[in-house]
Structure 1
Amino acid sequence: MDSLVEEGIDLNRHYVYKYCSPTRSAIQTGRNPIHVNLQNLMHPSSNDRDPVSGFNGIPRNMTGLGTKMSFAGYRTHMIGKWDAGMATPDHTPRGRGYMSSLHYFHQSNNYWTQTQHACQGRPIVDLWRSEMGGNEGPAREYNSVCPTNNPSPTGDGCKEGKKGDHWYHGYEDALFAREVMDVIEKHDEKDAEHPLFMFWSPHAVHTPLQVPSSYLNKFDHIKKTDTRGRHRQTYAAMVSFLDDAIGNVTKSLKDKGMWEDTVMVLCSDNGGPIYDGGIGGANNYPLRGGKVSNFEGGIRVNAFVSGGYLPSHVRGTKYEGLVAGWDWYATFAELGGVDPVDKRAQDAKLPPIDSISMVDVILGRNSEQLDEEEEHRGSVVEPRRELLLGTAGCEGWSEPGCRFPQKYKGYTVGGVIRSDGLKLLIGDHAQAQWTGPQYPNRTSQHSSCFKYDMKTASCVLACEPACVFNVTEDPQERRNIANELPAEVIQDLLQRVEEGHKGSFFPSRGKHDPRACDAALHKHGGFWGPWKI
């Protein structure tokens, strides 16, 4: 990945939601999570009174990124983690416009058995496949077989399925990487009217932390400062595996003669998890907080653009402007030559897209080329001027950092970031701590700040009426400057939060639906899949 960054654009201020499912819904629809999905529901749910939005993930009548790119003539493929809904055929990758897919629906299935959750005591496999112009259903025999339902982190004794990965005995990210390379190999690069668009979403480095032993052994030197469960060592090994997989895919594109026409975007879907005494294995040093928080460590993620299509003068540069994960929707739509406006959602009275195209950034156009105002000519283009920070209030994952001043009680917008670096937060914010350069370690396991419930008062920052940081000058968020700014500046920021909340979209997704298990057991033969029409 380092070499790809050196040959591309390092996106230093790339923001996403504070946990995975809302970010993924945002990327696929071009919307801020406050306008598509703020929740990370762990089990299939439905609300029969709302046939459009009453399910996990993306509302039915929103146009997916895959559909947009297929309108542009692309052959569209999705591989890896989906986590954007599965209740109906409309919610699957195929329903969102991907012509083929090999994926899992939920957040974090087992890397070796591909199981997640159980129905009536039976582990259910989460692995689904749809083929170009053909069949769709459980990815039977792609999943590996292990001696137990809960294999060791290195998959001891596991064997790949008949159609599965033969590199690492069924390790899921090896299976996905091989599928990506297979799609590239089969693509007709000479068919200019039907280029390739692929959404590849590796499982790594989400929990459960699991990796082939050959990679784990490369990081034995971490043991001395690691947790008892070797979480940091395993995490590092998983990143190494992912790095090799990306290298192999890049080589496939070059060998196929496709690299010079490729735009590759890589980003994480949330900041690294630093809870539970280090069991997430991540470290966001020197940023404050981590996954499930709106501090920089939870939402400002590693990201870059690379590929042979980038002009030479942008390669090896760092972009300091604001970028949101959902901006890639409009960006790829523009690259493909299609209008990003979602007319289907408009007809259903659903929120419009928030996506802002970053094509000018990718192509390195400055304001002189765009014929902007004289005083700004020659400066770097910054299409995005602000970013509203969503929050699901007290919906489980956000607790206990969910107490808001009375005026803002129940808000779905918890802050705002401006392009000049000013960042406002309201309410209580957990994970208000910084990790050291060697976090996690054995000492951190005993720190109350890193327990999952995070209710220790010293670990929560109370922003009442508001906290303000300048994350350009102070990216570690150590200095609250709310009392140093003119009152009208604070009021302007608060007004943007209020306006954002008034326009937010927070439908009832309903309750856990037992019909999902019934379909998994009796319709799909022990695999998760759609359970409603």
Structure 2
Amino acid sequence: MLGFVSSAALLLAIAPALASSSASRPNIVHILIDDFGWNQVGYHNDPSFLEVSTPNIDSLKNEGIELDRFYVHKICSPSRTSIQSGRSPIHVNVQNVHPEVVNEEDPLGGFQGMALNMTSVGDVLKDAGYKTSFVGKWDVGMATRAHTPHERGYDEFLGYYHHSNDYWQQTEQKCSLKKIKDLWIYNETFDGPAVHLANDPACGQDNQELEKGKRCQYEEEILLGAVLDKLDEQAAAEDEDPLFMFYSTHLTHMPLQVPQEYIDKFGDITNEYRQSMRAMSYYVDMEVGAVVDKLKSTGLWDNTLLVLHSDNGGEIMTQFCGSNNHPLRGGKFSNFDGGIRVNALVSGGFVPSSRRGVKEERLVAGEDWLRTYASVAGVGDRWTTDSRAVEAGLPDFDSVDQWPMLSGESAADATARSEVWIGDTTSIEFNGDGDTLVGGLLRDDGWKVVLGAENKMYKICQDVTTPAEYPDGKFTPRVPELKCRKCGRTPEDGCLFNVRDDEAEENNMAEEQADIFDEMIARIDELQESVYSPTRGKTDKRACKAAKNDYGGYWGPFL
């Protein structure tokens, strides 16, 4: 197995001839929203019960392409790793472990997230001559600098490394009972903790108005400001190199924290969890609107491709999570569609006029953006395979170039993606390590098999559909995570649905369509032979040591 090859060395080795002209290479703005439930966007609201307000996202959908069959992994880190690497989660990561883990016996894959020697979407667009910037939640690795955006093709980074942090104090997890902050900056002149952006210790969800001179700024405001500043910089730039901006919002992930003025807008909602989640959804829509306004006011919009989607379904494990995926079954952490089918759209002035206002029903997966962007950027022919990963014995790209479909170049009845491979893990803990499993299969004809892990008695949990008003304090599921069903390997105990005809996955067709079920189980077994399943390791004490001794109480690379 070959040693790690840095992205900088890769790009020098390739020495590409850049794509022809800037006009043929649009700016690309990718907005990834966190845990954004299916029913948390206005255009998916029940018409008889409209309480979610997302006018900016709704407008983008109306002016662009709605991706109605867009699938990702059921958990944050695997989904993000898939997007960055251009691989199905079963070939890169299905574990939601924390970034402090290390397995020194595996120098390529023994860490959180994406294995070293795998090329990222940032690498690909940098190869195409793009300026590259990442703002927000990373969650793809932190152990070494090579795991961070700095060595994954991004020129600049402002964000945090973990699954989440406190929106006001920027803290996540502890070292020796001391809370550690997680917010980092990397650019041409600085590489280190964002100490100057830390708030006063008194600042918090219940104390947002401090006396003059004491800092108290909502984290999302900081992140949005960085995105808008970068767009201004791009508009003023004298060169013709386009921009790739990956904007990964913290919203609408837990904890339920948002400026009070936004909660007050939803004062008619009595359930505090739903009220906070509606306010957070409204806030993220405001952020999207600010990005679009900036693109238009600076003249960037006409040559911009904007992609927006969630990393997984809304979290409904208990009602205090506040999310809602109505009418889909389940949510985050579950392989029912509520956990893996998410809000998604493509918009911007670069979208052909003939495709605007289209609701696209063909399959698209999170890993598809890498080769789609390579195609749009004019380097698609160079990125049909990931040679350095293959040479290191690692899985190749699974990414499908969706631009022919998105642009309307392909026939109306054609589809580039015939399957979505659904990932799972043997890990009992939500954020633990385990073996990679193929937890199901979705075909473009709508047939979907969900397969539980054998060591979990084949159970798939969150076997509920929540009402449009959820959570509401009525006789609705308080703890959906406890509602489980067996989804085994035989037609008698298996789970087969046609999600095109039955989006709530109410009608189990495994026995009635036993031939289809058996055929799909055989395909799952075939895919299982190809999975990438490194041991990620255990929490390494050097992470806390670096946080305390090197970074002044902040998380950062520690090896």
Q: CA deviation at 1:249?
A: 0.9
Separation of aligned partners in 2, 1:159 and 1:269: 38
Separation of aligned partners in 1, 2:93 and 2:100: 14
What code does the residue aligned with 2:474 have? Answer: T
The 1:81/1:102 distance shift into structure 2, 3 A limit, reads same
From 465, 490, 499, the equivalent of 1:471 is 499
What code does the residue aligned with 1:251 have? Answer: D
Q: Which residue of 2 aligns with 1:314?
A: 355
Q: Which residue of 2 aligns with 1:490?
A: 517
Q: Which residue of 1 aligns with 2:202?
A: 147
Q: Which residue of 1 aligns with 2:424?
A: 391
Q: Which residue of 2 aligns with 1:440?
A: 471
What code does the residue aligned with 2:336 have? Answer: F
From 442, 462, 465, the equivalent of 1:417 is 442
Separation of aligned partners in 1, 2:436 and 2:496: 18
Per-residue CA deviations over 1:103-149 (Å, capped at 9, x if unaligned) read 10001100011111111121111000001x3321111111222316x
Separation of aligned partners in 1, 2:92 and 2:350: 31
Per-residue CA deviations over 1:228-258 (Å, capped at 9, x if unaligned) read xx11111111111111111111111111111
Task: Work out whether 1:232 is the aligned partner of 2:251.
Answer: no
Larger mean CA deviation between 249-258 and 340-349 belongs to 340-349
CA RMSD in angstroms comes to 2.0
Task: Work out whether 1:37 is the aligned partner of 2:93.
Answer: yes
Per-residue CA deviations over 1:389-444 (Å, capped at 9, x if unaligned) read 11012341299xx9xxxxxxx66001100000000112321111111111112136
What code does the residue aligned with 1:139 have? Answer: A
What code does the residue aligned with 1:360 have? Answer: P
The answer to whether the Cα contact below 8 Å between 2:161 and 2:183 also exists between their aligned partners in 1 is yes
Separation of aligned partners in 1, 2:61 and 2:201: 37
Q: CA deviation at 1:300?
A: 0.4
Q: CA deviation at 1:485?
A: 1.5
Q: Which residue of 1 aligns with 2:253?
A: 206
The 1:158/1:75 distance shift into structure 2, 3 A limit, reads farther
Per-residue CA deviations over 1:38-88 (Å, capped at 9, x if unaligned) read 101135100111111111111111111111100000000000000001000
Separation of aligned partners in 1, 2:64 and 2:213: 36
Separation of aligned partners in 2, 1:520 and 1:161: 25
Separation of aligned partners in 2, 1:112 and 1:83: 19
Separation of aligned partners in 2, 1:301 and 1:159: 42
Q: CA deviation at 1:366?
A: 3.3
The answer to whether the Cα contact below 8 Å between 2:96 and 2:431 also exists between their aligned partners in 1 is no
The answer to whether the Cα contact below 8 Å between 2:495 and 2:509 also exists between their aligned partners in 1 is yes
Separation of aligned partners in 2, 1:158 and 1:472: 55
Q: Which residue of 2 aligns with 1:347?
A: 391
Separation of aligned partners in 1, 2:212 and 2:286: 22
Q: Which residue of 2 aligns with 1:357?
A: 401
Separation of aligned partners in 2, 1:437 and 1:331: 34
Q: Which residue of 2 aligns with 1:460?
A: 485
Task: Work out whether 1:507 is the aligned partner of 2:549.
Answer: no
The answer to whether the Cα contact below 8 Å between 1:146 and 1:159 also exists between their aligned partners in 2 is no
Task: Work out whether 1:270 is the aligned partner of 2:312.
Answer: yes
The answer to whether the Cα contact below 8 Å between 2:67 and 2:346 also exists between their aligned partners in 1 is yes
Separation of aligned partners in 2, 1:502 and 1:269: 26
Q: CA deviation at 1:349?
A: 1.1
Task: Work out whether 1:331 is the aligned partner of 2:372.
Answer: yes
Q: State the TM-score, normalizing by the size of structure 2.
A: 0.84
Q: CA deviation at 1:353?
A: 0.7
Separation of aligned partners in 2, 1:104 and 1:361: 34
What code does the residue aligned with 2:497 have? Answer: F
Task: Work out whether 1:300 is the aligned partner of 2:341.
Answer: yes
Q: CA deviation at 1:449?
A: 4.2
The 1:398/1:108 distance shift into structure 2, 3 A limit, reads closer
Matching of residues 151-230 of structure 1 within 5 Å: 151-152=204-205, 155-157=208-210, 169-188=216-235, 193-223=240-270, 226=271, 230=272
The 1:14/1:317 distance shift into structure 2, 3 A limit, reads same
The answer to whether the Cα contact below 8 Å between 1:222 and 1:233 also exists between their aligned partners in 2 is yes
Task: Work out whether 1:22 is the aligned partner of 2:78.
Answer: yes
Separation of aligned partners in 1, 2:212 and 2:315: 30
Larger mean CA deviation between 200-209 and 40-49 belongs to 40-49
The answer to whether the Cα contact below 8 Å between 2:489 and 2:521 also exists between their aligned partners in 1 is no
Separation of aligned partners in 1, 2:68 and 2:212: 41
Which has the higher relative contact order, 1 or 2, with Cα contacts under 8 A spaced 6 or more apart?
Answer: 2
Q: Which residue of 1 aligns with 2:61?
A: 5
Per-residue CA deviations over 1:462-509 (Å, capped at 9, x if unaligned) read 43422110000011100011112252x222211110111110001001
Separation of aligned partners in 2, 1:366 and 1:291: 33
Separation of aligned partners in 1, 2:73 and 2:199: 32
Separation of aligned partners in 2, 1:320 and 1:364: 13
The answer to whether the Cα contact below 8 Å between 2:90 and 2:436 also exists between their aligned partners in 1 is no
Separation of aligned partners in 2, 1:435 and 1:35: 32
**Structure 1 moving runs of 4+ over 6 Å:** 158-162
The 1:411/1:86 distance shift into structure 2, 3 A limit, reads closer
Q: CA deviation at 1:380?
A: 3.8
Give the match's secondary structure for 1:493. helix
Separation of aligned partners in 2, 1:237 and 1:86: 31
Q: Which residue of 1 aligns with 2:20?
A: none
The answer to whether the Cα contact below 8 Å between 2:99 and 2:142 also exists between their aligned partners in 1 is no
Separation of aligned partners in 2, 1:444 and 1:250: 41
What code does the residue aligned with 2:419 have? Answer: E
Q: Which residue of 2 aligns with 1:375?
A: none
What code does the residue aligned with 1:345 have? Answer: A
Give the match's secondary structure for 2:228. helix
The answer to whether the Cα contact below 8 Å between 1:433 and 1:449 also exists between their aligned partners in 2 is no
The answer to whether the Cα contact below 8 Å between 1:153 and 1:211 also exists between their aligned partners in 2 is no
What code does the residue aligned with 2:173 have? Answer: H
The 1:311/1:448 distance shift into structure 2, 3 A limit, reads closer
The answer to whether the Cα contact below 8 Å between 2:124 and 2:374 also exists between their aligned partners in 1 is yes
Separation of aligned partners in 2, 1:386 and 1:485: 19
The 1:362/1:89 distance shift into structure 2, 3 A limit, reads same
Number of aligned residue pairs: 490
Separation of aligned partners in 2, 1:159 and 1:253: 33
Matching of residues 58-77 of structure 1 within 5 Å: 58-77=114-133
The answer to whether the Cα contact below 8 Å between 1:39 and 1:395 also exists between their aligned partners in 2 is no
